[in-house]
Amino acid sequence: MSQTVALPGAVEIPAIPLRELAPWALFFGLLAVLVLFFISADQGAVSLPAGTAIHEWVHDGRHLMGYPCH
pLDDT per position in the chain (70 positions), as tens? 567 766 677 788 888 888 889 999 999 999 999 888 777 775 655 556 666 677 777 777 778 878 776 6
Identify whether 59 is part of a domain.
yes
At residue 25, what is the residue type?
Answer: A
* Number of domains observed in the structure of the chain: 1
On whether residue 58 sits in a domain, the answer given is yes
Flag whether 9 is in a domain.
no
Q: Does the residue 57 lie in any domain?
A: yes
64 occurs within a structural domain: yes
Helices (H), the chain: 18-40, 53-57, 59-64
Distance CA 43, CA 52 (A): 7
45 within domain boundaries: yes
Question: Residue 59's domain spans which residues?
Answer: 34-70
Cα–Cα distance between 32 and 41 in angstroms, integer?
14
DSSP collapsed to 3 states, 45-59? CCCCCCCCHHHHHCH
Q: Is residue 21 part of a domain?
A: no
Global pTM reads 0.54
User: Residue 47 has what pLDDT?
Assistant: 58
